[in-house]
Amino acid sequence: MQENKLVAAMQPKRPRKRLFLGMLFLSVLVLGGGMAVIWYICVPGLAQIQRDLPDILGAVFVFFVILAFLCLLNMTLAAAGLPYLPVLRSRTYSLIHVLFPVAVRLGKPFGITRRQLEGSFIATSNVLFHRLGIRVSADKLLVVTPHCLQLARCPHKVTRDPDNCKQCGGCDVGALVALSHEMGFHFFIATGGTLARQIVYNTKPQAVLAIACERDLMSGIQDVYPLPAVGVLNIRSNGPCYNTHVDIEEVRRQLENIILKDGRKKRE
């Protein structure tokens, strides 16, 4: 009981979706301003090469800024539960690759950490996942967790076969194995991003639920796109990458929102 209270106390605070979106909008403004300065400096030289080059470069810069604002506006509408255009999702994820490093640098003077921005991204991405109304049968769902979820002193190798877990209750792996048997989804434990991507490739799921820290979840969700993925943050009560935990009830809630009610198949 005391351990459960400690784990609950160490759970990360629920990230604010508006933090990530707000910093991306600010990043677009900063990049837009930088483009304007570059255009102004380059105009004389470009005009000497070809009269229309300044207009062409200006049009490219303006197009990028407008497209970025439209993609972020679309993501904001989706996160707010308002009508949005799913077709812009792929453009938005590509844009995040460009804007996120800028957002991290801009956040430092305001005391906004990279971890906070990553957590906010995951919260936003999860909302978009559920807005799409994705439902799959249990045998088409993959759940992936990091190896640090296993108790460090455990002698049983579970990275290739989670069923090697003896479900002693020393860590959360046993609860996830039991849940996979109950609900019928594929469950794997990965030692790193390379193995996780290999598991996704071999399993060929229709959706993924990943359990990890903010950094790994953010990179993983973007790596597997357009495969839909939802993230659940782990609980690092013993520090990063060592004897981590996960809120099993939160995992169950997410699974119940993804798995088709008539698509559950118990594994023997």
- Distance CA(165)–CA(189), nearest Å, equals 11
Domains annotated on the chain, with CATH: 17-131 (no CATH), 138-263 (3.40.50)
**What does the pLDDT read at residue 61?**
95
Residue with tokens 């207009």, as numbered in its chain:
55
CB atoms < 10 A from the CB of 246, how many? 23
Query: What is the C-alpha end-to-end distance of the chain, expressed in Å?
Result: 31
Residue that wins the pLDDT comparison between 2 and 87 = 87
Using CA atoms, how far residue 31 sits from 26, 39, 48, 93, in Å, is 9, 12, 26, 17
- Across residues 190-197, what is the average pLDDT? 83
**What does the pLDDT read at residue 128?**
87
Copy the structure tokens of residue 213: 């820290």
- Across residues 189-217, what is the average pLDDT? 90
Does the pLDDT at position 233 exceed 80? yes
For 83-132, write each residue's pLDDT tens digit: 888 788 778 888 898 899 999 999 999 999 999 999 999 999 998 888 88
| pLDDT bracket for residue 246 (50, 70, 90) | very high
- Distance CA(80)–CA(96), nearest Å, equals 19
- Closest C-alpha among 230, 142, 220, 139 to residue 184: 139
- Across residues 64-89, what is the average pLDDT? 89
Residue 160's Cβ-count burial label (10 Å; 0-12, 13-18, 19+) is exposed
How large a percentage of the chain has pLDDT more than 90?
A: 67
DSSP letters, 118-177, are HHHHHHHHHHHHHHTT--B-GGGEEEEEEGGGS-TT--S--SS-GGG----SSSSHHHHH
| pLDDT bracket for residue 26 (50, 70, 90) | very high
* Order of all β-strands in the sheet with 141-146: 186-190, 141-146, 207-212, 229-233
Check if the beta carbon of residue 35 is closer than 8 Å to that of residue 64: yes
Using CA atoms, how far residue 16 sits from 104, 121, 258, in Å, is 16, 9, 23
Pairing of strands 207-212, 186-190: unpaired
| pLDDT bracket for residue 3 (50, 70, 90) | very low
91: left (phi over 0), alpha (psi -120 to 50) or beta: alpha
DSSP 206: S
* Helix ranges restricted to H, the chain: 2-9, 17-49, 53-79, 89-107, 114-131, 173-183, 193-203, 214-224, 248-258
Check if the beta carbon of residue 56 is closer than 8 Å to that of residue 39: no
- Distance CA(65)–CA(230), nearest Å, equals 29
For 147-176, write each residue's pLDDT tens digit: 999 999 999 999 879 999 999 999 999 999
